[in-house]
Chains A and B, each alone.
Chain A
Amino acid sequence: MKKTKQLLACLVLMTFGLGTAHADYTLNLMRGVTQLSNEVYDLHMLILWICVFIGIAVFGTMFYSIFHHRKSKGHKAAQFHENTTVEIIWTIIPTLILVAMAIPATKAVIDLDRVQDSEMTIKVTGKQWYWDYEYLDSGVHFESHLDLASEKAHRVSTIDPRSVPNYLLNVDKPLVVPVKTKIRFLFTAADVIHSWWVPDLGWKKDANPGFVNDAWTSVDKPGVYRGQCTELCGRDHGFMPIVVIAMEKEQYDAWVKAELEKQNALPDLSKQTRASLLIKGESVYLTNCVACHQIDGKGISGWYPAINGSTKVTGDMSQLIGFVQAGTSKMPAFKKLPADQLAGLITYIRNAPELGNKVGDELQACSALSLDELEDLFPDLDNAPELCKEKGEVKPDPVVAQKN
């Protein structure tokens, strides 16, 4: 059946002279990799076939009539127009079919709802326009944005999306889960409604701001499963994909351990060249800033201010750092950005040719730290890197900066 459909699809495509038929596209739902997705798939196929059979019966009758009961063939019209028995029959038969459909459907609804007895919980927060994952049991917590290659490709017209692997379906940091483990998901949102959908898991669930929804899964086999946000959530709704990597439990445990270490690690405070600061800054910018300020830094008139040529950006550096860390009513506060990323970002937005700014300076990670922050990282200041003890000439003063 699948072969026939693919053949048919290819024929249609060839008629249009496209001939680019992709090997991996599908015409039907995927079976997926969970008990729920299989159940939903079977249900889908059941109703599909019921509809196909009813369709053949109804359209068959209709087309027979169209071919034979026509004036041009000399057919004379009968004048019957009422038959209560027939009406009752074609009311009762569909009712019975519906009851037959409702039984497996009810079972599936109950199964989907069974979130009890889960072995671990992941809290998913939808934000404009990325996902935030928090493993409530282990404490792993990170954001998952569209990957840099797709981010660039959809913003720069000269890059062909076809050259980007998994275009728009790849993230910088995927959600990692163990296989054969009952996982409970909690969904919420920070701003507007989002919806979390990975087709291979068999369901989607809305993430509503201020409320918590739940759902569960237990992935049968290791693999990479991709999905997208499915509730219109604004400008970049199409650019917040989901990637789930399912791995064996031992591997997963190792991953958690490594993540926690990474999470608690100190930022890289070594001195960097201008070029490497710019490279780091670009990736920070593309992850956190580009959605609003755009790839050319010109923002969107009426929505988001430009940083291209903005005196706030090219002016006093310590005020700029304070501004970025404090945020505004529209811009989130980037207080938690590690010092090395902050340094890269500040250097990038002041100097990147693609943003049209050229101040000609740079910020080192050490200088991005205030004395308080340095003390937070190194309670015994003697342990701090030599570089930071000297302190650069730039000293952000967040209190002064916030007033601007």
Chain B
Amino acid sequence: MTAVVAEHDDHHDHHDHGPEKGILRWIITTNHKDIGTMYLVFALIMFFVGGTMALIIRSELFEPGLQFVDPQFFNSMTTMHALVMVFGAVMPAFVGLANWMIPMMIGAPDMALPRMNNMSFWMLVAGVLLLAATLFMEGGAPAGGWTLYPPLVLQTGKALPFAIFSVHMLGISSIMGAINVIATIFNMRAPGMTLMKMPLFVWTWLITAFLLIAIMPVFAGAVTMLLTDRFFDTSFFNAAGGGDPVLYQHIFWFFGHPEVYVMILPTFGVASTIIPVFARKPLFGYASMVYATAAIAFLSFIVWAHHMFTVGLPIAGELYFMYATMLIAIPTGVKVFNWTATMWKGEMTFETPMLFSIAFVVLFTLGGFTGLMMSVAPADFQYHDTYFIVAHFHYTLVPASVFILMASGYYWLPKWTGNMYDERIGRLHFWLSAISVNILFFPQHFLGLAGMPRRIPDYAIQFADWNMVSSIGAFIYGFSQLLFVYIVIDTIRGGTGKATAEVWEDASKHGLEWTVPSPAPYHTFTTPPEIIPTEHL
């Protein structure tokens, strides 16, 4: 369905002007490809920063007893690991992909609002740096969990207002990015690129962008209330002044639940883009994929209190949020079935992007199963705040979002750099990641069911064995990711040879980006391509 053929005429590009020279190219650039590159590189760096924090956590949990860090610093690490990974790594990585790929996929010359694009990137950098700076402040970085629940978070030392301001900056950056995506998709599609012909990556990002615009102001509001509670004597969340700490949780999760879908919807989009290419078959159920994504996005706004089953909701609330949450399984199931049907009777080859995508479908489904289990409120009374949920959301984030980000890297690197990556090392990276990520997270299901609470720096002896296994997996997984850095650098320097414009066999049937030369010229589609209706193929 996304199959389009374009006629690209290089002669139209003779007014082309190249990038600025030197460092200014990156600071003042308004080019979607440069900004996309900066987002991706920044996200990769943050992935390693957040990963280092994760390894500090797993080192401390390698054995019972406190060996390396102080419990307060441990809490800072769990908090900062989550904030850095969510706001510094996964979200920016998808914004980077959106920048690079959306204009090329819809036949647009650039993003609709290029200057704002630049501003939203640099605001992100400032926000994350400010957040990182809190690590060095008196009293340490925030240590109340990434959810920043009061009253605990109000016990943070000097770092609190800085962390809150950083959240404001990250929010503004995300909103600007989202506005840009929406404006680009609605206004800059090539003639003939109707909404229902857009590649699914574009569709999922369009929906994600609406989620972002809806939720980031809510989060900003919640943290601003924290700020006034701490410094201006308000009592939004203080029972002694007539407030309610649980109110914060309602506001936070009204943001938080759609927020986790912000990280998974574009993931769905990329998987739906990659799998058909390597199955050599059109995506099965394009329309139902679009509707399922929209349904998931809608549901994400009406299920937030399933994160709060144990805070003492009234029984009607428990039942409503349980039923609503269970519904999410339906559109999510449709997606998994459609991917399976896309592979069915295909002509599959297993290059690295496809390997990561298949692993995504399998392991994301595992995370989906535990999600379904937790939607059942009475069972969640046991699972809640244990390692079971830690296993659940890491399955939906690491072997799902992160694997798909890796898949995107391998899939589009030849287009970005003009060179092929080393397939052998790519596959090695895949197998090391796929095996170790399961050693890392699968035992955490057992730990949670056996009774280990999350966010504890030390544990009872019966949890020792699986924690050790999990930590070993963490180190293998963490160090395997260095292979990806090696591959990226190696590919930029020439890789295993020049890539063709199409890169993957018959890829040009699946997306406009494969109709331009590799590497993609600094300016593409300055003249809109001609979109041939799918029926003609």
A residues near B, CB below 8 A? 9, 12-13, 16, 18, 20-22, 24-30, 39-40, 43-44, 47-48, 51, 54-55, 58-59, 61-62, 65-66, 69-72, 75-83, 86-87, 90-91, 94-95, 98, 101-102, 105-106, 108-113, 153-155, 157, 160-162, 166-169, 187, 191-193, 195, 197, 199, 202-206, 208-211, 213-214, 227-239, 300, 302-303
A149 to chain B, nearest CB (A): 13
If A29-B449, A81-B283 touch, whether A202 touches B382 (CB-CB below 8 Å) is: yes
Closest to B281 in A: A77
A–B complex contacts, Cβ < 8 Å, 7 sampled: A61-B344, A71-B348, A91-B334, A98-B327, A109-B322, A235-B72, A302-B139
If A61-B340, A62-B361, A69-B345 touch, whether A25 touches B465 (CB-CB below 8 Å) is: yes
Q: How far is the CA of A155 from the CA of B457 in the complex (A)?
A: 12
Cβ 8 A contact of A70, one of B67, B240, B347: B347
In the assembled complex, which residues on chain B have CB atoms less than 8 Å from the CB atom of A79? 281-282
Q: What are the 5 A-B residue pairs with the smallest beta carbon separation, nearest first? A: A210-B239, A238-B456, A108-B378, A213-B312, A77-B347
If A82-B286, A154-B458, A238-B456 touch, whether A58 touches B340 (CB-CB below 8 Å) is: yes
Q: How far is the CA of A48 from the CA of B383 in the complex (A)?
A: 13
Check B469 against A16 for contact (C-beta < 8 Å).
yes
A247 to chain B, nearest CB (A): 22
B95 to chain A, nearest CB (A): 30
Check A167 against B378 for contact (C-beta < 8 Å).
no
Check B462 against A69 for contact (C-beta < 8 Å).
no
Say whether B302 faces chain A, with CB atoms less than 8 Å apart.
no
Check A71 against B349 for contact (C-beta < 8 Å).
yes
Say whether B377 faces chain A, with CB atoms less than 8 Å apart.
yes
Closest to B149 in A: A193
Additional A-B contact list (15), CB under 8 Å, known A47-B379, A101-B326, A208-B245: A18-B465, A25-B463, A28-B449, A39-B378, A44-B379, A54-B369, A55-B365, A62-B343, A77-B347, A79-B282, A87-B288, A101-B376, A168-B460, A203-B382, A232-B75
In the assembled complex, which residues on chain B have CB atoms less than 8 Å from the CB atom of A16? 468-469, 472
In the assembled complex, which residues on chain B have CB atoms less than 8 Å from the CB atom of A48? 373
Check B75 against A237 for contact (C-beta < 8 Å).
yes
Q: How far is the CA of A43 from the CA of B376 in the complex (A)?
A: 9
Check A211 against B312 for contact (C-beta < 8 Å).
yes
Say whether B221 faces chain A, with CB atoms less than 8 Å apart.
no
In the assembled complex, which residues on chain A have CB atoms less than 8 Å from the CB atom of B463? 25
Q: How far is the CA of A197 from the CA of B382 in the complex (A)?
A: 8
Among listed B37-45, B150-158, B196-204, B406-414, interface-contacting one: B150-158
Q: How far is the CA of A192 from the CA of B468 in the complex (A)?
A: 31
Say whether B494 faces chain A, with CB atoms less than 8 Å apart.
no
Of residues 312 to 348 in B, which have CB atoms within 8 Å of A's CB atoms?
A: 312, 315, 318-319, 322-323, 326-327, 329-330, 333-334, 336-337, 340-348
Q: How far is the CA of A126 from the CA of B61 in the complex (A)?
A: 25
A179 to chain B, nearest CB (A): 21
Interface hub of A55, A62, A112 (most chain B Cβ within 10 A) = A62
Q: How far is the CA of A214 from the CA of B315 in the complex (A)?
A: 12
If A66-B348, A69-B348, A71-B349 touch, whether A209 touches B341 (CB-CB below 8 Å) is: no
In the assembled complex, which residues on chain B have CB atoms less than 8 Å from the CB atom of A111? 378
A104 to chain B, nearest CB (A): 9
Q: How far is the CA of A47 from the CA of B372 in the complex (A)?
A: 8
In the assembled complex, which residues on chain A have CB atoms less than 8 Å from the CB atom of B349? 70-72
In the assembled complex, which residues on chain B have CB atoms less than 8 Å from the CB atom of A30? 451
Check A81 against B330 for contact (C-beta < 8 Å).
no
If A195-B385, A303-B157 touch, whether A154 touches B451 (CB-CB below 8 Å) is: no
Interface hub of B245, B323, B381, B385 (most chain A Cβ within 10 A) = B381
In the assembled complex, which residues on chain A have CB atoms less than 8 Å from the CB atom of B151? 191-193, 209
Check B456 against A237 for contact (C-beta < 8 Å).
yes
Q: Per-residue CB proximity of B449-474 to A under 8 Å, as 1/0? A: 11101111111111111101100100
In the assembled complex, which residues on chain A have CB atoms less than 8 Å from the CB atom of B533? none
B153 to chain A, nearest CB (A): 9
Q: How far is the CA of A90 from the CA of B240 in the complex (A)?
A: 51
Check A75 against B347 for contact (C-beta < 8 Å).
yes
Q: Per-residue CB proximity of B234-269 to A under 8 Å, as 1/0? A: 000011100011100000000000000000000000
Closest to A163 in B: B461
Check B449 against A26 for contact (C-beta < 8 Å).
yes
Of residues 198 to 246 in B, which have CB atoms within 8 Å of A's CB atoms?
A: 238-240, 244-246
Q: How far is the CA of A18 from the CA of B443 in the complex (A)?
A: 15
Check A77 against B346 for contact (C-beta < 8 Å).
yes
Check A59 against B381 for contact (C-beta < 8 Å).
no
Check B157 against A161 for contact (C-beta < 8 Å).
no
Check A102 against B323 for contact (C-beta < 8 Å).
yes
In the assembled complex, which residues on chain B have CB atoms less than 8 Å from the CB atom of A47? 372-373, 376, 379
In the assembled complex, which residues on chain B have CB atoms less than 8 Å from the CB atom of A91? 330, 333-334
In the assembled complex, which residues on chain A have CB atoms less than 8 Å from the CB atom of B456? 228, 237-238
Check B343 against A69 for contact (C-beta < 8 Å).
yes
Check A105 against B362 for contact (C-beta < 8 Å).
no
Say whether B188 faces chain A, with CB atoms less than 8 Å apart.
no
Say whether B526 faces chain A, with CB atoms less than 8 Å apart.
no
In the assembled complex, which residues on chain B have CB atoms less than 8 Å from the CB atom of A236? 71
Q: How far is the CA of A310 from the CA of B294 in the complex (A)?
A: 63
Check A160 against B65 for contact (C-beta < 8 Å).
yes
Closest to B343 in A: A65
B10 to chain A, nearest CB (A): 32
Interface hub of A44, A61, A214 (most chain B Cβ within 10 A) = A44
In the assembled complex, which residues on chain B have CB atoms less than 8 Å from the CB atom of A87? 285, 288, 334
Check B66 against A157 for contact (C-beta < 8 Å).
yes
Q: How far is the CA of A80 from the CA of B283 in the complex (A)?
A: 9
Check A113 against B468 for contact (C-beta < 8 Å).
no
If A47-B376, A71-B347, A213-B312 touch, whether A66 touches B358 (CB-CB below 8 Å) is: yes
Check B319 against A106 for contact (C-beta < 8 Å).
yes
In the assembled complex, which residues on chain A have CB atoms less than 8 Å from the CB atom of B459? 168, 238
Say whether B521 faces chain A, with CB atoms less than 8 Å apart.
no
Q: How far is the CA of A148 from the CA of B349 in the complex (A)?
A: 61
In the assembled complex, which residues on chain A have CB atoms less than 8 Å from the CB atom of B282? 79, 81
Check B330 against A105 for contact (C-beta < 8 Å).
no
Cβ 8 A contact of A58, one of B310, B365, B454: B365
Q: How far is the CA of A13 from the CA of B334 in the complex (A)?
A: 37
